[in-house]
Amino acid sequence: MLNFPRLLSLLIKIDQETVLKWFGLEDNSNLYAYQTNDYGYDLNVSNFETSTDISVETFRLIIEGLWEKIQDGLTLADIENILFFVLFVRFIILAFRYNLKTSFYITCIGLFAGYLWYRHLIDLISMYRNVLLKLPFLNKLGMDAVQLRSMHRQMVLTDLKLGEDAHWYDPGQVLYYAFTKGVIHTDPETGFRYYIDPISMAISNLQDSAKSNVLPIYYKIYNKIIPKIYDICSKFWNQLSGVAAYAVITRIGKRYCPYLIRWHWTFLLIIGMIEQIFVYFIYRVYYFQTFIILPQTKMYENYTDPNLLIQMNLLNAVIASVVLAHIGFIIFALFHAILGQYFYLPFFVENTELHIGPRPKNSIYSGGQTAWQEPKEKEKSLNRLLPKLWYGWFGRGTGNGLKLNFNLRKLLKKIFKR
């Protein structure tokens, strides 16, 4: 049976032009041809060149185009384009290897695991936004973080005023706005706002002598106490919702949750405890640099203390190193997740697998390889004083490196011959 009919349901013509448009790149390899005559330029339709099929030239154009785009800095849109292209290519490869149904399931599992890391990446750049604006290559990420934060604030203000953006996945917000809209009524002519709930209606029927004693307590409860309780509950839910979702999906629904998602989600929760140390360290360094050292350098216009310049440069190097290493690691983990792979980090991986157990090797939905779980590696780790730091690319192990390189050489030769 031919493999090509499996792709007919996609209804996508995959050629060089389609791939380049995915990345927002221009195809400069095929230019329109013009014929000139005595009266000027004449366009000949027969001289048009159609887009070519995918080849080594396509990948060269992708690399060159992406390199030109990221010269000015990396953005969230660039990361998203690369991620979805990798997911699409992986879906095609798995469709040839298995079938469309299995490929769709495996791709969705990787997409969900990658989404966890992507949301964490957005939270991270939001925390580092002031620092990212000062870094040359990551300043656009900082600008994206500032825009996302301003959009979030605008949505919150809109919700507080109108209550039109309450969603089904936020039941507390839905109940709150349903209650407030059902209780609060505004007179369109006078603009006077009053409550029509049973308690308010009962208080409105009280005598004037009793109202003077009851109304201050009534307005204090409705205008201060109830909104304060709602703010406390919503903040508590925002902090607890992630852990609650983790417990429901990976603990209660362990039978239905793939191992890849459980592994990456548990790893993300464990490493989040250590990340706060680096985040607050950068906050303190940035504060010390901005509000203590920088004002001292501006005290004298014609003279600057060389020690202050050394401190500024040293702190810039510390900030850039920590932030780049932190964001780089999150992106590294993000690509492992969408590819259905695992990676090793001492102490964190062991604690992760203590919670969820070893990878089931008899399922194609469990993801890539975990060489550190092999019995031979476990025996070797018992005799080591220091933990092993590297288990090969995608957790495949380091014992078959020569074989992998040799097969890669053969594959590249075949591609260039074609």
Query: pLDDT per residue over 317-370, tens digit each?
Result: 999 899 999 999 999 999 999 999 999 998 899 999 998 988 988 888 888 888
Cα–Cα nearest to 148, from 165, 124, 175: 124
Report the 10 Å Cβ neighbour count for 22: 15
Q: Are 245 and 289 in contact (CB under 8 A)?
A: no
Query: pLDDT per residue over 13-25, tens digit each?
Result: 566 666 666 566 6
Average pLDDT of the segment spanning 291-298 = 80
Q: In the structure encoding, which two tokens stand for residue 99, read together?
A: 């079938």
Say what percent of the chain tops pLDDT 90: 21
Report domain extents, the chain. 73-368
Cα separation of 400 and 139, whole Å?
A: 40
Q: Are 289 and 320 in contact (CB under 8 A)?
A: no
Which residue is it, tokens 């290559």?
Answer: 137
Indicate the DSSP class of residue 57. H
Cα 238–Cα 244–Cα 250 angle in degrees, nearest 5: 140
Query: pLDDT per residue over 42-89, tens digit each?
Result: 444 444 445 566 666 666 666 666 666 666 677 888 888 888 888 998
Which residue is it, tokens 């990976």?
Answer: 250
Q: In terms of C-beta distances under 8 Å and separation of at least 24 residues, what long-range contacts does 97-105 make, across chains too?
A: 98/364, 99/6, 100/6, 100/9, 102/364, 105/365
Query: pLDDT per residue over 102-151, tens digit each?
Result: 999 999 999 999 999 999 999 999 888 888 888 877 888 888 888 887 77
Report field, pTM of the whole predicted structure over 0.75:
no
Q: In the structure encoding, which two tokens stand for residue 189, read together?
A: 């002519």
Cα separation of 365 and 259, whole Å?
A: 8
Q: Are 30 and 49 in contact (CB under 8 A)?
A: yes
Report the first-to-last Cα separation within the chain, whole angstroms: 24
Indicate the DSSP class of residue 32. P
Give the model's confidence band at 233: pLDDT under 50 very low, under 70 low, under 90 confident, else very high. Answer: confident
Residues of 325-359 as b/e, b for ≥16 C-beta within 10 angstroms?
ebbeebbebbbbbbbbbbbbeeebbeebbeebeeb
Give the model's confidence band at 26: pLDDT under 50 very low, under 70 low, under 90 confident, else very high. Answer: low
